[in-house]
Each structure stands twice: as structure tokens, then as C-alpha cells.
Structure 1
Amino acid sequence: MVSSNRKVKVAALSIVSNTTLIILKVVAGLLSGSVSIVSEAIHSGMDLVASIIAFLSVRVSSRPADEEHPYGHGKIENISGLAEGLLIFIAAFLIIKESVIKLSHPAEIEETGMAIVAMFISAVVNIIVSRILYKVAKEEDSLALEADALHLKTDVYTSLGVGIGLVLIKFTGISILDPIVAIAVACLIVKEAWHLCKSALNPLLDTRLSNEEEQEIKEVIEIYKTEVINFHKLKTRKSGNIRHIDFHMTVNEALTAKDSHKLIKKIEKDLEEKIKNIHVTVHIDHN
């Protein structure tokens, strides 16, 4: 429960920071007439929606398994991550669309000073919040928080890019740099969105654990080679932050049912020390 509360709190922090930055960017965009800042406001709007999705998903994913969901609710975080990735794609499309219009009908940028300050404030805030999100995401193995952190990370890049672009416009007077920078920002966003969607989709398809994790499982079982004659049908998958491990093992015929049960408990304990957040199912075959 403590872990769940921690995830919910940092997800709420993301909502607050995104809301504040949207207001800042909208004001700066309207005063300056900069399409790149308006694009950043759109991006932050998508970030806010993503933060709300992450907030709701971490609350649901922490619920214990029940009759309808015997494997728990962890995959809601993968669905959340996929939805957030799609939102980034939409944001990139809107930015490119607005930028193409500005390339066809260029306009002078006003109030660049305030616009530049707004972008760099946004970058600093998002660096701080994204680091907090990443830290908790890694410690709690939360894809929803990791996806939210990725949103803010792309916002750091885009805010810095727009800020630098506005500095160049201020000193060169070349206003067409504004939509060009916005399009470059959108391309970066698309790249990040692709990686996020891929990471979120794999667990939904019940992709097995990594080679390293499966090797660790095999090494633990092999410790008990005097009792375990062989093991087979190893299947692994991940649901949220829970790793499900399922395998059959043939045990020495001298072992009683009680001894076999104790052996399973030992193997489970050793696996838990090697790999965190696991659920182990062992099928015993007597030789």
C-alpha cells in the first residue's frame, strides 16, 4: 500500500506541474505569436492528459487480484503507456500541421524575451519532475510512471529547442526559424513515441522475460540438482510489475509430497531474492 501511495503521489505531482506549464506557455504563446510556443502548449496539453491517465492507471494497477482478474490489474499500466504513446503521436501531428501553415504564412515574433524565459522555466521544471518520476518508476517497476516521465523528458528537449530557436530569431530576425524548429521538435517527439509504444505493447502480447532473467531462473533451479532431476516447459511473462514464472520439474522419486512442497518453497524464496515482484507456479512430476 505504501508503494501504491508513493506512485499515486508522484503521478499527482506531474498533473500539477503540467497544468502550471500549460498556463505559462499559452500566455507566452499568445503574447509572442510564436507557433513553436503554441506547439509546446499543445504538447504540454497532451502531457497533462497523459499524466491523468498515469494517475488513474497506477491507482487501478495497485488493486489486488480478484475473481475476475486472477493475475491482478497490472496490465492497465501497459494500456496506459500505449495510450500515452499514441497521444504523443497526435501532439506531433498537430505541431507539424500548425508549423506548415506558419511556413506558408510567416509572421513576426513579438515579446521574444518573455517567450524565451517561459521555455527555459518549462525545461527546468520538467527536468526536476521527470527525474522524480523516473526514480519512482524504476524503483516500483511502473510502466505508467515511466511513460509519464518520458512525456516530460521530451518536453525538456522541445522546450530547450524552442528556447534556442527563439534566441536565434531574436538575434537574427529570421522568423521562419520558428516553424522549422517546431517541426524538428515534432520529429523528436515521434521517435520517443515509437519507443514508448513498443515497450508498452510487448507485455500486452505476453512477451517472455529477458534472456538474463530466464537465465537467473535456470541457475536457481540448478542449485537443487540433487532433488530436481530436470525441469521443462518454462514459461514467463509480465503483467504490470509482476513477473509470472511457470515451469514443470521432475523430482527424485525418494521425495515425499511434503518434501516436494518444501523444495518448491525453497526455490521460490531463492527466486524472490534474485528477481523482484514474482509469482511462481511449479508443476511437480515424480520420476
Structure 2
Amino acid sequence: MEDGKSVSLASGSSRESGDAEARLMRLATYASTLTATLLIAAKLAAWIATGSVSLLSTLIDSALDLAASALNLMAVRQALQPADHEHRFGHGKAEALAGLGQAAFIVGSGGLLMVEASGRLVHPEPVTHGEWGIAVMVFSILATFALVAFQRRVVARTKSLAISADSLHYAGDVAINASVIISLLLAMGPGWTIADPIFAIAIGIWLMINAVQIARGALDTLMDRELPDSDRGRIRALVLAHPEVASMHDLRTRTSGRQGFIQLHLELPATLPLAEAHRIADEVEATILAEYPRFEIIIHQDPAGSSETHPLPD
């Protein structure tokens, strides 16, 4: 009875932790959507007043941020849905799809920005009311920094791919906004109007780099990329540490949103009773879960020394 109580308590604690993480993820999506909306309004007013193309670049970026954050909001809501009859492995890959959508948005905004900035290189235009633009950029930096700090706390707790991609994008925005301040100061002070489009082109390149990073992470999840070799080695060590395990093979791993999956073949003495083999498999599973609590573990038991053909080397 005591074992039953401890299992029940652990299950309840795990559910409570999962619910808290889901609330954090939803709150992070609401915070990013609200922040992007506020920044669009402020930057639109500043761009109309200054005519700065580098400020226009951040306005375009914030507009794309809003679209990406709205996409994230819907994707996270879908990803948090529990597994059902049609989706036995859950809905976690919705986060990766949102990441690809974000990458596409970012590529589009970077391309449009560089086209606009290239025209300004040929025909530079003066920047007016630059102090308004600087004030808006300072506000943008403070608001974005606060959002990124919160998002990183959420990612550290939940390991969410969608929130991580969103955070990476907004972290880039902090540097982008700072560069716009520099470009405005150069245009207002020494009169280097060419600095405005040059900084805008640099921002466009930065956006493209961000897009590649986000898309790479999303594709890894969608293509069921294995965990890093360090994790695979750790899992193998945990399994082989059990004194009654002869060996193991065919280890496969993948992730899907917050959920991960580990499957392996456990080699046990051929004469072992089924009940004993089941007990050992349960103990191995519990050992792995202690270090990889977000993972579902599937263990197949094989008699040691039996010959099997496996499609891939271990």
C-alpha cells in the first residue's frame, strides 16, 4: 500500500508540475503578443516623425514579431493538447511547425528591409526628429529585454521549442534596437545619413541568421533527430548500471515539443521468468525517468545472446 501511495503522490505532483508549465507557456505567448503590439504602435509613430529607414526596419520586424507571436500562441495552445485517439504521441510538433513559420516570417522581413535600405544607399535621405526615434528605441529595448528575461525563465522550466524560437528572435531585437539608436545619432550628429541604410542592411543580415537558427531547430524536431551523443551515452550508462542487465541495443530517441521518447531493447538472461524480466525493465525505466522526466520510455526485453537484425547500428 505504501508503494501505491508513493506512486499516486508522484503522479499527482507530475500533473501539477505539467499544469504549471502549461500556464507559463500560455502566459509567455500572451506577453510576446502584447509586447509586439505596443512596440508597433510606438515605432509607427516614430517612423512617421523621423522617416528613418533603420527605424522602419524595426517597425517591419515588430510587425513580423506580432504575426509570429500570434502563430506561436495558436501553436502552443495546440501543442499543449493531450494525446488523443488520432494523435497517440501528442501534439508537440505543432511547436516545430510554428518555428518554421517564424523562420519564414523573418526571412520575408529581412528581404524587404534590405531592398528598401539598398534604395536609400543610392538616394540617402535626411533623418528628422531623431530624438523621438531614440526615445522609442530606448522604450523598445527595455520592453524587449523584460520579455526576453521572462521567456528564458519559461524555456528553462518548460524546454518549449516555440517559446525558445520566439525568445531568440526578440533577443536579436535588443541588439537591433541598439544599432538603430547608433544610426540615428550618426545621422543627427555628424550628418552621416548613409549610416541609416547601412545599419538597416546589417539588421536584415542579422534577421536572416536568426531565421536559419530557428528553422534548423524546428527541422530537427520534425525529422525526429536523435538526442546528442552525450545524452545517448548517459542513457546507455544508466541502463547498463543495473546489475541484472546483460546488455542493450537498438536505442532510439526523439523529441516532440516538451515530450521526448526513448525506446530500447534490453538484453536479459534467457532463463529469467517473465515476471522477473518485467521487474528489471520497470527498474531500468524508473532510473532513466529520474534523469529524463519528460520522456516516455518503451523497453523491449530480449534474451541475451539471441541474434537479431537491426536496421541501424547502435
TM-score (norm: length of structure 1):
0.96
Aligned to 2:142: 124
Mapping 1:157-236, distance limit 5 Å: 157-224=175-242, 226-236=243-253
Counterpart of 2:284, as a letter, is I
In the alignment, structure 1 residue 240 sits paired with structure 2 residue 257 = yes
Q: Aligned pair count?
A: 286
Structure 2: distance between partners of 1:24 and 1:89: 23
Aligned to 1:55: 73
1:156 positional shift: 0.8
Structure 1: distance between partners of 2:89 and 2:272: 31
1:10 positional shift: 1.2
1:276 positional shift: 3.0
Structure 2: distance between partners of 1:148 and 1:55: 11
In the alignment, structure 1 residue 108 sits paired with structure 2 residue 126 = yes
The question of whether the paired residues in 1 share the 8 Å contact of 2:21 and 2:157 is answered with no
Counterpart of 1:263, as a letter, is I
The question of whether the paired residues in 2 share the 8 Å contact of 1:138 and 1:146 is answered with no
1:204 positional shift: 0.8
TM-score (norm: length of structure 2):
0.88
Aligned to 1:257: 274
Structure 2: gaps (5+ residues): 1-18, 305-314
Q: Which of 134, 143, 156 pairs up with 1:138?
A: 156
Cα RMSD after superposing both structures = 1.2
Counterpart of 1:24, as a letter, is A
Aligned to 1:12: 30
Counterpart of 2:200, as a letter, is A
Counterpart of 1:220, as a letter, is L
The one-character-per-residue Cα deviations of 1:58-79 (angstroms, maximum 9, x if unpaired) are 1111111111111111111111
Counterpart of 2:276, as a letter, is D
The question of whether the paired residues in 2 share the 8 Å contact of 1:216 and 1:274 is answered with no
Q: Which of 258, 278, 285 pairs up with 2:295?
A: 278
Sequence identity, in percent? 29
Aligned to 1:21: 39
1:257 positional shift: 1.6
The question of whether the paired residues in 2 share the 8 Å contact of 1:35 and 1:178 is answered with yes
Structure 2: distance between partners of 1:66 and 1:158: 42
The question of whether the paired residues in 2 share the 8 Å contact of 1:92 and 1:190 is answered with yes
Counterpart of 2:267, as a letter, is T
Counterpart of 1:57, as a letter, is A
The one-character-per-residue Cα deviations of 1:79-121 (angstroms, maximum 9, x if unpaired) are 1111111211111101101111222222111100111111121
SS at match of 2:246: strand
Q: Which of 79, 82, 92 pairs up with 1:64?
A: 82
The one-character-per-residue Cα deviations of 1:192-250 (angstroms, maximum 9, x if unpaired) are 211111111111111111111111111111111x4222211111111112221111112
Structure 2: distance between partners of 1:236 and 1:119: 44
The question of whether the paired residues in 1 share the 8 Å contact of 2:110 and 2:204 is answered with yes
Structure 1: distance between partners of 2:205 and 2:62: 16
Structure 2: distance between partners of 1:195 and 1:151: 10
The question of whether the paired residues in 1 share the 8 Å contact of 2:186 and 2:193 is answered with no
The one-character-per-residue Cα deviations of 1:6-63 (angstroms, maximum 9, x if unpaired) are 1001110110011000100010000111111111100000111111111111111111
Aligned to 1:31: 49
1:254 positional shift: 4.1
Aligned to 1:99: 117
Structure 2: distance between partners of 1:134 and 1:88: 20
1:2 positional shift: 2.3
SS at match of 1:92: helix
Structure 1: distance between partners of 2:24 and 2:57: 32
Counterpart of 1:227, as a letter, is E
Structure 1: distance between partners of 2:149 and 2:278: 44
The question of whether the paired residues in 2 share the 8 Å contact of 1:88 and 1:193 is answered with yes
In the alignment, structure 1 residue 151 sits paired with structure 2 residue 149 = no
SS at match of 1:228: coil
